[in-house]
Amino acid sequence: MPALARRMAGVVVALAVLLGAADAARAQLLEPPRRRQGYYFSVGYHFALNQNWEDGESWRVWPGADLIIRAGQLITRRFGLGLQIHSGGTTGQGQTASMFGLSLEGNWELVTNLSLRGGAGLDIVSIASKDGMDDALRGTVGAGYFLGLGYDWFFGKRASGGFAVTPNLQARFVPGTTASAFIGLIGVQFSYYAGLPRNQLDLPPDEAFKKK
């Protein structure tokens, strides 16, 4: 566990350095205004279906919910990099499964406002008896992987950045030696893109020098 924590700390530091370098490079270039620009923050609640395997035994699919928080930055016009945190749980067959994870996320805009998202990081799935008869916790701690799609439906009239409602689909896989988990998610996130300042946008002269 300490080794995993150190590895994730290194990922976070590398991400911070990369985003800082991207900011310095972007400040020297003018970008056309787009809604998906700058830093982003997103939070959303998702319906979850969880399939678990333990020591070769397959449990049925358990329903539940998962909260996802995302934060990062659009580094190029289509590619963004950030972090994703999730926490949730599912129940079934007299069992409960608690889920938590921290992942490095990359997202690529396939068409306008529709992005493919994927990443990897530290994931924890803990399984326990729901009635408390068995106090032993089972599950897995280790690498987790996810892949999904999200569409940013913007509202408001800002040229760069703004608020969006983001329908989201995601599949997550957490392999382990004694237990493994596969989680399918569908939900809605509420997102905010900070946009770029006017001095970094390629605007017509009458817009570029307009006073607020």
Residue by residue, DSSP assigns 25-80 as HHTTS-B---SS-SEEEEEEEEEEEEEEEETTEEPPPEEEEEEEEEEEEE-SSSEE
What is the domain range of residue 35?
2-197
pLDDT for res 162: 94
Q: Alpha-carbon distance 117 to 104, whole Å?
A: 10
Instruction: With respect to residue 205, please indicate whether it lies within any of the assigned structural domains.
Output: no
Instruction: With respect to residue 202, please indicate whether it lies within any of the assigned structural domains.
Output: no
Show Cβ contacts of residue 17 under 8 Å, excluding neighbours closer than 6 positions: none
Q: What is the pLDDT along the chain (212 residues), one digit of tens a residue?
A: 455 555 555 555 555 555 555 554 544 577 788 889 999 999 999 999 999 998 878 888 999 999 999 999 999 989 999 999 999 999 998 889 999 999 999 999 999 999 999 999 999 999 988 776 666 778 889 999 999 999 999 998 888 899 999 999 999 999 988 889 999 999 999 999 998 887 777 555 555 445 54
Give per-residue pLDDT as tens, 12-58. Answer: 555 555 555 555 454 457 778 888 999 999 999 999 999 999 887 88
Instruction: With respect to residue 210, please indicate whether it lies within any of the assigned structural domains.
Output: no
Instruction: With respect to residue 134, please indicate whether it lies within any of the assigned structural domains.
Output: yes
Instruction: With respect to residue 57, please indicate whether it lies within any of the assigned structural domains.
Output: yes
Token pair, residue 140, equals 């897995």
What is residue 212's DSSP assignment? Answer: -
Amino acid, single-letter form, for residue 91 = T
Instruction: With respect to residue 208, please indicate whether it lies within any of the assigned structural domains.
Output: no
Token pair, residue 60, equals 């049925």
Domain count, the chain: 1
Instruction: With respect to residue 209, please indicate whether it lies within any of the assigned structural domains.
Output: no
Instruction: With respect to residue 203, please indicate whether it lies within any of the assigned structural domains.
Output: no
* CATH number for 80: 2.40.160.20
Q: Alpha-carbon distance 7 to 122, whole Å?
A: 9
